[in-house]
Structure 1
Amino acid sequence: MRELRTPPDAILDPITGAARVGSYRGELPRVDLTPLAPRRRDRLLKHKRWTYVAIVSDEVFIAAAVVHLGYLANAFGVVFDKVGRRLLVDRSTLGPPFAASVGDVGGEGSSARAWMPRGRVRIERPRGEARITVTAAFRGVDLRARLDTSAAPPAISVVAQAPGGALIATEKRQLLGVEGEASVLGRRISLDGALASYDYTSGLLPRRTTWRWALAMGRAQSGERVGLNLGEGFVGDAECALWVEGDLIPLAEGRFTFDPGRPLDPWHVRTADDSVDLRFVPGAAHSNHTNLGWLTSDFLQPICLCSGTVRLPGGRVLELRDVSGVTEDQVISW
């Protein structure tokens, strides 16, 4: 099992300029990529960053995101009814780069905002505060929530070098406490007592980028709060992790088996060492297929219930049954 180190005070060595590549336990420092892309044109074309938040309650799965591509901005909001197994709201909107912003930190001091005619999102955690404020407004949904980091396990943070010299920094955290509510199609849904996660990513990414990703969050059959982040490709095993109550445990890289022609059929997701073996059963999917010439994207994110087993260090096995989560298949040229 790889070791999770203490995060560095900067992602680049101040003397050599080399990236401080590794997997870390805790929040990233400021992600300043200017030394690697001093020309504004390079940053405009290559610097991609986003913040994604997911909230899981007994009734719903809610996701909201702000994405900044340098020359274009995107925001989306999704609400999935866990009981009815259907999407209640699925909204996505594009806008000019000045219609959104994503800051240079993922934890304390973070800020991501989108203000567009068809949707608004704000995800912020001021300096000195433990709570993340999340608001999102799209047609059919008005979300107002506070995510509490004070009792949550630490984030897993990564600085990774991708093929072609691209640099990626990402910070992911799960099992945050939630207070708040969502108004969905005129129905008020309390989110008090729900669980939440966030994903902050900033990098100088390759022209063509692909990944597969899975998130799961809920309770094991034995009662523990459990969160899971698995990826295949992108930064490899560096971001793969399991949260169990207050513990953060690194995992091997994910392996995804599914039928691209039938994405709502079950997905088999495991780790390379078989310590995780899960079946994700989609109920519906948030997707986006864009072709703007210079930007082409095939993005698929089924919203699922997952069941299976997770083997902990030491041999104990946790059983998951109908835990909320998503899978994702992304192929993008940007």
Structure 2
Amino acid sequence: MERLIQDDGQPHYGIFTTPPKRINYRDFDFRSPMGRRLGALAKWRRFHQFQYFGLISEQLIVGCALANLSLAGIGFVYLFHPPSGRMIERQFKLPFGFGTHFSQQPDDGLCELRSGRNLLRLENRPSPKEKRLLVELDDGTRIDACFSEDEPRFQPMCISTPAAVNGWVYAQKVAGVRCAGEVRSSLGDFDLQRLGAFAHHDWSAGYMRPETHWNWACLSGQVAGRRLGLNLSCGVNETSYTENCYWLDGELLKVDTVRFAFDRQRPLHPWCISSQDGQVALRFEARGQHQERMNLGILASNFKQIFGQFSGVLRPPGRDEVPVANLWGFVEDQYVRW
């Protein structure tokens, strides 16, 4: 598919085997809930885009995100060292996205944020098909990590769904892939390949609900010699289709709707995550969190990304159960008004 938005101004919807080459949001026939056609300013204001890259290993956990919220460009990065419990965190908020660049090509583009001597960059390369994270901070922290999707069996989750009465969301997710590269920081120097690190990636964009909330879970690791990745959410991409799935050695297996049971006021207490079709039954034990709160009137966010370990079972239809024991991953609780 060359473009997500068709000639009639409407998106393609569904779950795709290959991603669109371009999210041509400016061609969207954007209208008010009452049917009035909206112009270029409204298209710019309501279009939002974000990208996330996570690294998982027993020795190092990393999360990095960039977001274009039209009125602001936002980025964060954190590094957590499980053996010591030490953590490095940085957050960036740039008015009107000054100092940022965002491509609308999920597999062939560059997104980055520059603030002083700090750089967060996410590259999506088509040939070979790679995702790369580059972080350079003014305290000497440097992350250079990449993974490849160039294996015949691997299929990313590519999904486009309606959102509210006049919007849509395109999301592209990957988990359970091996990661290479290096990290230098005050936590230590790490060779990601030697650590046996895994990566996951999220590229999302669209005209999302003006006020929304979601929960999300992701894990990556190895179970009985097989690579396992998992992506589950509730609250954002469930209109007609869901993004819920897991990967076994790169093979995508679809999951029905999921339920996140947890205490919102005590997010570091255990979470229970289960799917309606019985394929997922997991318990999450938190080890730490990255949290951000922002209230600028028009823009507001209450964001908690919690890292820890999953245990439980996955039940792929017609196959042996997949036990999950203390695999590292993430859960998320997010409210946003944009």
TM-score using structure 1 length: 0.91
**d(CA) in 1 for partners of 2:257, 2:101:** 31
Partner of 2:180: 179
Deviation at 1:315, TM superposition (A): 4.1
Q: Do the aligned partners of residues 34 and 227 (structure 1) sit closer, same or farther apart at CA in structure 2, a change above 3 Å counting?
A: same
Partner of 2:235: 233
Partner of 1:161: 162
Q: Secondary structure at the match of 1:44?
A: helix
**d(CA) in 2 for partners of 1:25, 1:140:** 40
Deviation string 1:224-247 (CA, Å, 9 cap, x unpaired) is 110000000101252111100021
For residue 232 of structure 1, what is the amino acid of its counterpart? C
Deviation string 1:53-94 (CA, Å, 9 cap, x unpaired) is 01112311111111111121011111122333x351121110
Match of 2:204 among 196, 201, 204: 201
Matches within 5 A, 1:305-316: 305-316=309-320
For residue 13 of structure 2, what is the amino acid of its counterpart? V
Q: Do the aligned partners of residues 39 and 98 (structure 1) sit closer, same or farther apart at CA in structure 2, a change above 3 Å counting?
A: farther
Matches within 5 A, 1:27-176: 27-36=19-28, 37=30, 39-84=39-84, 86-96=85-95, 97-107=97-107, 109-117=108-116, 119-138=118-137, 139=139, 141-151=141-151, 153-176=154-177
Are 2:22 and 1:21 aligned? no
**d(CA) in 1 for partners of 2:118, 2:126:** 26
For residue 130 of structure 2, what is the amino acid of its counterpart? R
Partner of 1:300: 304
Contact 1:93 1:118 in 2 (8 A): no
**d(CA) in 2 for partners of 1:252, 1:49:** 25
Deviation at 1:119, TM superposition (A): 3.4
For residue 176 of structure 1, what is the amino acid of its counterpart? V
Q: Do the aligned partners of residues 153 and 127 (structure 1) sit closer, same or farther apart at CA in structure 2, a change above 3 Å counting?
A: closer
**d(CA) in 1 for partners of 2:149, 2:220:** 16
Are 2:212 and 1:219 aligned? no
**d(CA) in 1 for partners of 2:86, 2:174:** 25
Q: Secondary structure at the match of 2:214?
A: strand
Q: What are structure 1's unaligned runs of at least 5 residues?
A: 1-7
Deviation at 1:116, TM superposition (A): 1.1
Partner of 2:3: 10
Q: Secondary structure at the match of 2:242?
A: helix
Aligned residues: 323
**d(CA) in 1 for partners of 2:104, 2:227:** 30
TM-score using structure 2 length: 0.90
Contact 1:140 1:184 in 2 (8 A): yes
Over the matched positions of the two proteins, sequence identity in percent amounts to 23
Moved more, 163-172 or 143-152: 143-152
Moved more, 27-36 or 194-203: 27-36
For residue 220 of structure 2, what is the amino acid of its counterpart? M
**d(CA) in 1 for partners of 2:117, 2:63:** 16
Deviation at 1:140, TM superposition (A): 6.2
**d(CA) in 1 for partners of 2:177, 2:157:** 14
**d(CA) in 1 for partners of 2:86, 2:64:** 14
Q: What are structure 2's unaligned runs of at least 5 residues?
A: 31-37
Deviation at 1:307, TM superposition (A): 0.5
